[in-house]
Amino acid sequence: MPETKSDFSVLNRVHQLEKLQNEVFDLAIIGGGITGAGIVLDAASRGLKVCLIEKNDFASGTSNKSTKLIHGGLRYLKQFEISLVRESGSERAIVHKLAPHLVIPEKMLLPLSEGGTYGRIMTAIGLKVYDFLADVHGEDSRIMLSKAETLDKEPLLNEDVILGGGLYAEYRTDDARLTIEILKKAASFGATIINYCEMQAFNYDEDSKIESLNCYDYNSESHLKIKAKHYISATGPWVDLLRTKDHSINDKHLHLTKGVHLVFPHNKLPIKQSIYFDVDDGRMIFAIPRGRVTYVGTTDTTYLGNKDRVVATRKDVDYLLNAINKTFPKVNVTVNDVESNWAGLRPLIHQDDKDPSELSRKDELFISKTGLISIAGGKLTGYRKMAQRTLDAVISQMNSSEKSRLKSSQTQSISLVNPAFENFDAVENFENELEGTLKDLGISDPYLAWYLCSNYGKQAIDILSKSEDFKNTDALERLIRAELWYCINFEMTQRLSDFFVRRTGRLYFDISSIHKYRDIILKDFTTYLNWNANRVASENENLNVLIQDATTFYDEEFN
């Protein structure tokens, strides 16, 4: 077994809740997605006493429903959003260095076809500009391919219409895992962080400034009050709801769009590499191989339904299936080939007379006279810069004494996971070591080494060590039980959905493992968290709904 043990950054809920109730903070953040996570890490590492609350689980909204790419936004060149492309391009390289096991280099193939969105000359120029803006050099620089070279990269493409292609650099991630690791790192800097705690109302002083938050903790079923000097809403699709509660909503508001992704067993859509391809309506779609599966998305449609239960409709799946089968005519996938799916919302800034796919992905701040600073829009890739811009707004409200004790932003150099990897070569070496360790434990499938390495980095060592404590079970059961032990004790896992969806990604990428190990995981949950019979029944019911939504296509949205 590899020797290096991890330095746990602990998200202990009992300890965090006690701090939340007894301290006055410099800054309170509402919302535990990637945006809130980025802000809390930046704030804590600068020296602020900061807390973050999330009404559900961390990354349970938009931040678990992206295309799971840290990408530069090639399509934004078409919309002339040069600054967004430049920032995204530089940020993806930074985040890769901060967590090289979690933000993984991914070559992207852009096939060129007759009647497609991009011609060869414009693609060559566009990718060259893209590389320049993103400061891409060396082997990651774009390469233009002939028809034969493009089909060699991906034989499933339609050879009757392919003219050639472009190959360029992107990065793949797990958005929920990235969020969790950022939050754990923030906790190591002293941040107070808690899930399942909902902000219900603002309290104001005699000058109509926010002085505290009325909150409800779902686990203890108790009310609490959080006091801070400054307040941020990083609640994604719920930003306008909080602005309404704050009586600060105006004519500038969100435009929610829905994105759907379909997951296929890799043998049903056996592409050799990631592809970014045209759809007839002018949109572009990603097809990404990931471990045992291939996932495809996304749709981009205006959404007016229930923000707390977003699902894929038959119209969504038909759109994606038609796009897949036209681009890869040899596969002929059907709805019966879909293993799972996810649907999520993008909180974009509304612009009159623009279609959903044309709306800008830029972030924007809404600053209320009450002191509430709301951040909306933006992309997963730009979370660090969004945090800096939001904190700049907070700092502008501080007095000179408060400002004088703050450090400058350090997040460009803070490794997100300890022990850290020096580079991606070290990640690959560690994965190879894990594969050998797993064989010694009776697990021969190399997928598990990749899965553990990409999910946990060197923290996987502690999971493997713990697995040896579970006796009289098969090796795979010992492994998943050790994962649960780790996620409960160090990542504030409180629900079955926290574990199966956001900590492990199994609902989307290994759904059969849920059916196989559900009972033992539920039993361990009951032991660790002291669940009663009613809680067990409730958790079972909630998990059934999640599995249903991940495997069903509905006639219409929920309202």
Question: What is the chain's pLDDT, residue by residue, as a tens digit (559 residues)?
Answer: 555 444 555 788 988 998 998 899 999 999 999 999 999 999 999 999 999 999 999 999 999 999 999 976 676 666 667 777 788 878 988 999 999 999 998 999 999 987 777 778 878 888 887 778 777 777 778 899 999 999 999 999 999 999 999 998 889 999 999 999 999 999 999 999 999 999 999 999 999 999 999 999 999 999 999 999 999 999 999 999 999 999 999 888 899 999 999 999 999 999 999 999 999 888 899 999 999 999 999 999 999 999 999 999 999 999 999 999 999 999 999 999 999 999 999 998 886 666 666 556 688 999 999 999 999 988 899 999 999 999 999 999 999 988 989 999 999 999 999 999 999 999 999 999 999 999 999 999 999 999 999 999 999 999 999 999 998 889 999 999 999 999 999 999 999 999 999 999 999 999 999 999 999 999 999 999 999 999 999 999 999 999 999 999 999 999 8
* 298 upstream amide cis, omega within 30 of 0: yes
Give 211's Cβ-side CA count (13 Å radius): 6
Sign of CA dihedral 373, 377, 383, 388: negative
pLDDT of residue 90: 84
The candidate with the shortest Cα–Cα distance to 142, out of 128, 122, 152, 132, is 128
User: Do residues 92 and 133 lie in contact, with contact meaning Cβ atoms separated by under 8 Å?
Assistant: no
pLDDT of residue 78: 66
* Residue indicated by tokens 């090796």: 475
Determine the distance from the C-alpha atom of residue 182 to the mean position of all C-alpha atoms in its chain, rounded to a whole number.
Answer: 11
Q: What is the DSSP letter of 421?
A: P
Sign of CA dihedral 440, 502, 172, 163: positive
pLDDT of residue 473: 86
Q: Which pair of tokens denotes residue 48?
A: 């602020």
pLDDT of residue 76: 67
Beta bridge partners, 364, equal 376
Give the total residue count for the chain: 559
pLDDT of residue 501: 98
- Rounded distance between C-alpha atoms, residue 202 and residue 215, angstroms: 9
pLDDT of residue 349: 85
Superfamily per CATH, domain 103-172+255-358:
D-Amino Acid Oxidase, subunit A, domain 2 (3.30.9.10)
Beta bridge partners, 112, equal 164
- Rounded distance between C-alpha atoms, residue 444 and residue 435, angstroms: 8
For the chain, residues classed under CATH 3.30.9.10 are 103-172+255-358
pLDDT of residue 115: 74
CATH domain 13-62+176-253+360-404 topology: FAD/NAD(P)-binding domain (3.50.50)
For the chain, residues classed under CATH 1.10.8.870 are 424-551
pLDDT of residue 358: 58
- Rounded distance between C-alpha atoms, residue 254 and residue 61, angstroms: 15
- Rounded distance between C-alpha atoms, residue 52 and residue 38, angstroms: 11
- Rounded distance between C-alpha atoms, residue 266 and residue 253, angstroms: 40
CATH domain 424-551 topology: Helicase, Ruva Protein; domain 3 (1.10.8)
The candidate with the shortest Cα–Cα distance to 482, out of 453, 507, 462, is 462
Phi, psi of 8 (to 5 degrees): -60, 130
